[in-house]
Structure 1
Amino acid sequence: MASAYEPAHGDAAGTGGDVDRGEVRQRSSKPQKKPGTDMEADDGDEGRGAEAAGGGCEVTDSIEWVFESEPVPSWREQVTPRALAVSLLLAVVFSLIVMKLSLTTGIIPSLNVSAGLLGFFFLRVWTAPVKNPGRRPFTRQENTVVQTCVVAAYGIAFSGGFGSYLFGMSETIAAQAAEENNADNVKEPRLSWMIGFLFLVSFVGLFALVPLRKVMIVDYKLTYPSGTATAHLINGFHTPDGSERAESQVRTLIKCSVASFLWGFFQWFYTAGEGCGFGQFPALGLTAYQNRFYFDFSTTYIGAGMICPHIVNISVLLGGILSWGVMWPLIAEKRGSWFGAELSDSSLEGMQGYRVFIAIAIILGDGLYKFAMVLTCTVAAIAASTEKRKFFGALPVNSDDRTISGSGAAPETPPSFDDARRTEFFLKDQIPTPVAIGGYVAVAAVSIIAVPHLIFPQLKWHHVLAVYLMAPVLAFCNAYGMGLTDWSLASTYGKLAIFVFGAWAGKPHSGVLVGLAACGIMMSIVSTAADLMQDFKTGYMTLASPRSMFVSQVVGTAMGCVVGPSVFWLFYRAFDGVGTERSAYPAPYAIVYRNMAILGVDGFSKLPKHCLTLCCVFFVGAIALNMAKDLAPRKVARLIPLPMAMGIPFYIGSYFAIDMFLGSVILFAWEWVDKAQADAFGYAVASGLICGDGVWTLPQAVLSLFNVKPPICMKFLSRGVNYKVDDFIGTLS
């Protein structure tokens, strides 16, 4: 996997148009096999190229070559009634799981892989007993539709804010807040208005980034690790018989999945309390652990590190070192001077304020630069379309090892067979750009009118309009960051909306409720847009039509708008004291969001000292890094880190950065020892690690749902604390 910083070679005008598919076929080469030899490894999937050892003959191993004999159904044949029926069943199951987690821990894992696996299982059971030759076969495209629909549905259970902003409006949560709990800042949960609100705001995000689908998937070649792993899983399950190499890759994926699943199961036994388990192992020392520097034994992020380009993993680690290794310890020494000594680390008036807003500044700086570049290049391409020039600038996520002439001409190395075939089908069924833009404007217009008049009178129409004007840029930033690192920062952008719109409305005009409602609209848009782009990546790799992906996302979103509130209402009515500390469902993030909204009505003046100054410095720094990357020679540019990847650990911590870097080291060492084998099986191993851990989250959530707790708590203490614990236990005996 190359880490070179190279141009994306798509046609700028292709953000909404088509391509000359004949040209794609002409430039691509079909994988060849030397007679009398086994296929050597060149996984053409993500542009990896390799020359096979032996005979000097260049041979490749292609996923799409294995599937070439199978016809690709039209997009209407991919969205089948049986797929939608299975999707509805799984949507209910996964929404129950996500709702349980939202109201307890507030931490929601990625369940994409589990959705793809269960979709395959249920549809295989459905279609297996019937041996009717005329019956429509179960295809990988139909499997992808189920996965997309389910992810869209259970995504509403998260972005709907039932454990955060939406429940934070309730009287139950307001009674626990210190102030601003008057009637104008409270709205009790009701099934009718929750469903109506979600229908009004959840569909806008589906249209936000559709015109940029080619840019994100084909030109920028964003990896979307979970989407890529899900695609490999689906392709593996549907691989036709007779391909020895493909069967070997599937066996490798299954073995790694089982090992990852069993490792997750083994770790679970030692997590009986907070801060317990292998995931809290202070491998780099207790001081580093307190600054979120530790290896948490997560196979998901080791696998993600093997999929992501090396420069992404290095950038994430550098960001973690800069923030948690240097900046935060230095700022912590200013406690009592820059911010109150009595404030906890989770307070936005203290350390958390620096973490959240500096991370946002870096991500916005990078995202706005990329967005401006895309917009400028698209306009330039349209203006010069008769010359058929390519305008997209270099992006570091393109892992093709290509040689570029100084004039920016087309690459000397043609695209792999997989890339060419996938690009051809991805651009075949277009979603017209006017439809996407018109859909965004139409749905937003309805929302601007209906939300203030029918649901939140405190929220004015110009507030909603401002959200919809900001949302496409933030959605692009979130989808871009998710494509690089697999992290969605939808909640972070929601917190930004709380501050901006809460301060805009102010205390006299129900600023708390306005901030929470604006947070909900913003989170729905940026979360849905990123999920759709990740599903586009899965569809790209399984030859599922973008139209079928879009339609299944729309259907899944509609399911989620009904299923999500209904499941929440079930919990809310069936269990006593939901949202209170003594309840089994305390909804811890609901009070956090409400307190943020209370803080937000006073505006950014409540942030700690020098926070905005540092935000401006890092915002400009992110833009400067991008400009340096664009202007520097290729050999230098490939070594410059990515601001977006650097910014994410500023808020989250460095533990996942260490996991991803370890994955990158494993792949690098493997390529150094045997590049052909690494190219052939690297994605299978990485996808297996992600899939096994992803599948384990399902039984883990079910155990939690039935209140089955692990039997052992394994904690790590310093020597001094251990002596104190021993002494205390001695006094009891």
Structure 2
Amino acid sequence: MMSLQSALIGFLLSKLLPTPLTAQELIVVQTTAVATGTMPLAAGFVGILPALSLLSEEQDGTPPINLSWMAAIGWSCSVAFFGVFLSPPIRKQVIIKEQLAFPSGTATAQLISVLHHLPPPDTSLRRRAGYREVNTEDDEEIQASITPGTDDTVEELNSGEREVVQHQGWSNLVWSFLASSFMTILAYFFPVVFSIPLFGTYLAREWLWSFTPSLSYVGQGIIMGFPTTLSMNLGMLVGWGVLSPMSKLSGWAPGPVGDMTSGARGWILWVSLAIMCADSFVSLLPVAAEYFTYLLPTRISYAMYGHEDTDSDKEDFECETEDRLVPIRWVLAGLGGSVVIGTILVWAVFGNEGIKPWATLIGFVVGGLLSILGVRALGETDLNPVSGLGKISQLLFAWILPGNVVANIIAGGVAEAGAQQAGDLMQDLKTGHLIHASPRAQFFGQLIGSSVSIIVTSTAYSLYQRAYTIPGPSFPAPTAYVWLSLARLLRNGRLPDNCGIFMLVFAAVFAAISAFKTYASRRQLPYVKWIPSGVAFAIGFLNTPSFSLARLIGGIIEYVYHTRISRDGGADIRAIVVASGFVLGEGVISVVSLILRTCGVGVISCFGCSPGLCGGCPA
């Protein structure tokens, strides 16, 4: 969601203004940026819409669905605001009453307080177990254990580092931006630059083992941190180094390795799906149990926790005045309007053959319920388990609308959108709460960001569809296959040969790992960050090795930088600035590449490319 990066770039840009932004104004800018950037995920432009384009009339009973620009606008409008109007009431519960950590939002608040010479925000926590008070020392340990890289970055900032951000930030950002831009434009004209046969041409051509030295991927690895990128690459080694050749050589996946239907990539996709579902389900269990226990009557709560309700439990910790809060009538009107209008728009875009209006309505209701679980998980672990929540919604709609693949994907997408959007925006509301920004101003920023992103995202997606095949070599959209594969499984119940046993084994293993990781996290054990993440491990299956290797380099850079270079309180913020420049450079120049492709300007040379593997090659 790039909260830290948005705050940093907004701060640097504001230095060009006659009057720089205040801390509260910067939070509104950052909130608007995050709301804008959330739309491609919330509206399913990286998963749901590509999945619909992969439909087969022979296999699914319906032809592929490719939305026009206007239809994409309608679909975006249908899911753009539901999560925004969900945010104020959820904020009251998880930020004000329960004071959940929201580590990324807290880290962003700490960064902004340093940049604006403000006192450190009060990040003391109260846990749900009888509102047990946690002192400042315990809180610091909790924050460090949850997001060691991010929080260490912020907490170690001193006055000298503030000067680094203000005076050297632009230099670091510009040079990293230019380096990433140069690599991206070079890879456009010479595609082999981003598809280097590092392990030999045979492995690159037949088994997809190539290397993409994308500085954007390196930057993402720096932001993600070494433990996460390590989990991803462990998954990559198991998936692409063990299971892929095993399925191919055993005849279970006889097609080309990269084929998502009959090849090894499609075979290991199912194992990845089992890992994600098991990890997400187990990690959500304590959150759900805690939440529903909280809803139980006082006597049952007393029997389970050994405490009674006290006046302090019932105290309203809201520190904002009414004129700075979002009125409840706005929330009710917005929720009702977004649900009604969203249901009508989904019906207008997909018709009765796609999904019935009553099923879309149920999707919004399910999305509201899942949002509560997703936001609570995000508040405690800094991870929004939308992948697992999406699978839960698909399972539900397989029972409500059996045999309808299109409705399963769309309804599941509607439910997931609310959880995705509400979770991402809640981190910003946590930042605003700690720095005393106006929740109403942030709410307006969220509405503006979501509204602008409808046009930007739909237009960009339509242009990319004209210039590239999605999914395809340049944009594989692996989550699209996850959505479609589960919908097909729920429709016809067929799995690839000998895939089921591997799914069960890996699901059981990662259910146990997830349970232990959840236990260790709640106990604040020091080694919790080194316990493999099931979701990150599964993503190593979904992406080809080229995507994971570059991110591992970024993770190693982050680890070495934090442990060797900046461990004594050095200019730690530089890593975030440089990583942001890497990501922004490739993002901006990719738009230039899109324009070149649309105008018919092709690659200069496909020398060294394996046919079909380099995104820019016509083969």
Contact kept in structure 2, 1:153 and 1:559, CA below 8 Å: yes
Q: Verify: 1:707 aligned to 2:603, yes or no.
A: no
Which residue of 2 is the match for residue 201 of structure 1? Answer: 79
* Correspondent of 1:625 among 513, 516, 533: 513
Which residue of 1 is the match for residue 583 of structure 2? Answer: 694
- Aligned CA RMSD, in angstroms, stands at 5.6
Contact kept in structure 2, 1:366 and 1:622, CA below 8 Å: yes
One-letter code aligned to 1:362: I
Cα distance between partner residues in 2 of 1:591 and 1:298: 16
Instruction: From the superposition, tell whether residues 320 and 630 of structure 1 become closer, same or farther in structure 2 (CA, over 3 Å).
Output: same
Cα distance between partner residues in 2 of 1:598 and 1:312: 26
Q: Which has the higher helix share?
A: 2
Instruction: From the superposition, tell whether residues 457 and 687 of structure 1 become closer, same or farther in structure 2 (CA, over 3 Å).
Output: same
Instruction: From the superposition, tell whether residues 605 and 345 of structure 1 become closer, same or farther in structure 2 (CA, over 3 Å).
Output: farther
Cα distance between partner residues in 1 of 2:544 and 2:370: 22
Q: Verify: 1:641 aligned to 2:532, yes or no.
A: yes
Contact kept in structure 2, 1:317 and 1:658, CA below 8 Å: yes
Q: Verify: 1:652 aligned to 2:543, yes or no.
A: yes
Post-superposition CA distance 1:621-654 (Å, at most 9, x none): 2221133345679477665323233222121244
C-alpha displacement of 1:292: 6.0
Which residue of 1 is the match for residue 234 of structure 2? Answer: 318
How many matched pairs?
A: 540
* Correspondent of 2:24 among 141, 163, 173: 141
* Correspondent of 1:270 among 173, 181, 186: 186
Instruction: From the superposition, tell whether residues 609 and 542 of structure 1 become closer, same or farther in structure 2 (CA, over 3 Å).
Output: farther
Which residue of 1 is the match for residue 122 of structure 2? Answer: none
SS at match of 1:689: helix
SS at match of 1:641: coil
Contact kept in structure 2, 1:360 and 1:492, CA below 8 Å: no
Cα distance between partner residues in 2 of 1:272 and 1:297: 13
C-alpha displacement of 1:348: 3.7
Q: Verify: 1:457 aligned to 2:345, yes or no.
A: no
C-alpha displacement of 1:299: 4.1
Q: Verify: 1:517 aligned to 2:433, yes or no.
A: no
C-alpha displacement of 1:244: 3.8
SS at match of 1:270: helix
- Give the structure-2-normalised TM-score: 0.65
Gaps spanning 5+ residues in structure 2: where? Answer: 119-157, 306-316, 611-619
Which residue of 2 is the match for residue 557 of structure 1? Answer: 450
One-letter code aligned to 2:360: V
Post-superposition CA distance 1:81-129 (Å, at most 9, x none): xxxxxxxxxxxxxxxxxxxxxxxxxxxxx8878866775687666x52x
Q: How does 1:40-79 map to 2 (within 5 A)?
A: none
Q: How does 1:446-595 map to 2 (within 5 A)?
A: 446=340, 450=344, 456-458=351-353, 459-461=355-357, 463-464=359-360, 467-468=363-364, 471=367, 505=401, 511=404, 513-515=406-408, 517-518=410-411, 520-522=413-415, 524-533=417-426, 535-536=428-429, 544=437, 548-561=441-454, 567=459, 584=467
Q: How does 1:397-408 map to 2 (within 5 A)?
A: none
Instruction: From the superposition, tell whether residues 640 and 220 of structure 1 become closer, same or farther in structure 2 (CA, over 3 Å).
Output: farther
Cα distance between partner residues in 2 of 1:181 and 1:276: 36
Cα distance between partner residues in 2 of 1:184 and 1:152: 33
One-letter code aligned to 2:196: F
Contact kept in structure 2, 1:295 and 1:658, CA below 8 Å: yes
Instruction: From the superposition, tell whether residues 120 and 497 of structure 1 become closer, same or farther in structure 2 (CA, over 3 Å).
Output: same
Contact kept in structure 2, 1:145 and 1:548, CA below 8 Å: yes
* Correspondent of 1:247 among 157, 163, 184: 163
Gaps spanning 5+ residues in structure 1: where? Answer: 1-109, 131-136, 393-423, 573-577, 719-733
Cα distance between partner residues in 1 of 2:384 and 2:189: 27
Instruction: From the superposition, tell whether residues 366 and 692 of structure 1 become closer, same or farther in structure 2 (CA, over 3 Å).
Output: same
C-alpha displacement of 1:344: 6.0
Cα distance between partner residues in 2 of 1:533 and 1:239: 25
Cα distance between partner residues in 1 of 2:564 and 2:231: 25
Cα distance between partner residues in 2 of 1:660 and 1:591: 17
Q: Verify: 1:680 aligned to 2:570, yes or no.
A: yes
Which residue of 1 is the match for residue 309 of structure 2? Answer: none
Cα distance between partner residues in 1 of 2:545 and 2:557: 19
Post-superposition CA distance 1:199-222 (Å, at most 9, x none): 33332334667458659x975654
Instruction: From the superposition, tell whether residues 433 and 311 of structure 1 become closer, same or farther in structure 2 (CA, over 3 Å).
Output: farther
Q: How does 1:316-465 map to 2 (within 5 A)?
A: 316-335=232-251, 338-339=252-253, 341-342=254-255, 345-380=258-293, 442=336, 446=340, 450=344, 456-458=351-353, 459-461=355-357, 463-464=359-360
C-alpha displacement of 1:359: 2.5
Which residue of 2 is the match for residue 281 of structure 1? Answer: 196
Contact kept in structure 1, 2:326 and 2:440, CA below 8 Å: no
Q: Verify: 1:611 aligned to 2:499, yes or no.
A: yes
Post-superposition CA distance 1:419-457 (Å, at most 9, x none): xxxxx9999999899999978974685368646765532
C-alpha displacement of 1:484: 12
Contact kept in structure 1, 2:217 and 2:583, CA below 8 Å: no
One-letter code aligned to 1:371: L
Contact kept in structure 2, 1:499 and 1:597, CA below 8 Å: no
Contact kept in structure 2, 1:280 and 1:715, CA below 8 Å: no
Cα distance between partner residues in 2 of 1:539 and 1:597: 38
Cα distance between partner residues in 2 of 1:680 and 1:317: 29
One-letter code aligned to 1:280: S
Instruction: From the superposition, tell whether residues 587 and 325 of structure 1 become closer, same or farther in structure 2 (CA, over 3 Å).
Output: closer
Cα distance between partner residues in 2 of 1:244 and 1:145: 26
Which residue of 1 is the match for residue 129 of structure 2? Answer: none
Cα distance between partner residues in 1 of 2:528 and 2:483: 40
SS at match of 2:596: coil
Cα distance between partner residues in 1 of 2:482 and 2:203: 30
Contact kept in structure 1, 2:405 and 2:488, CA below 8 Å: yes
Instruction: From the superposition, tell whether residues 332 and 542 of structure 1 become closer, same or farther in structure 2 (CA, over 3 Å).
Output: farther
Cα distance between partner residues in 2 of 1:473 and 1:441: 13
Contact kept in structure 1, 2:287 and 2:373, CA below 8 Å: no
Contact kept in structure 2, 1:308 and 1:485, CA below 8 Å: no
Post-superposition CA distance 1:650-683 (Å, at most 9, x none): 2124445444444444454455546643x4323x
Instruction: From the superposition, tell whether residues 115 and 697 of structure 1 become closer, same or farther in structure 2 (CA, over 3 Å).
Output: farther
Instruction: From the superposition, tell whether residues 440 and 714 of structure 1 become closer, same or farther in structure 2 (CA, over 3 Å).
Output: same
Instruction: From the superposition, tell whether residues 454 and 462 of structure 1 become closer, same or farther in structure 2 (CA, over 3 Å).
Output: same
Cα distance between partner residues in 1 of 2:468 and 2:563: 50
Q: How does 1:297-316 map to 2 (within 5 A)?
A: 297-308=213-224, 310-316=226-232
- Give the structure-1-normalised TM-score: 0.57
SS at match of 1:141: helix
One-letter code aligned to 2:195: Q
Which residue of 2 is the match for residue 401 of structure 1? Answer: none
Post-superposition CA distance 1:163-216 (Å, at most 9, x none): 8755887xxx79x9665899998797484x65554333332334667458659x
Instruction: From the superposition, tell whether residues 258 and 668 of structure 1 become closer, same or farther in structure 2 (CA, over 3 Å).
Output: same
Instruction: From the superposition, tell whether residues 440 and 332 of structure 1 become closer, same or farther in structure 2 (CA, over 3 Å).
Output: farther
Instruction: From the superposition, tell whether residues 695 and 530 of structure 1 become closer, same or farther in structure 2 (CA, over 3 Å).
Output: same
Contact kept in structure 2, 1:114 and 1:698, CA below 8 Å: no
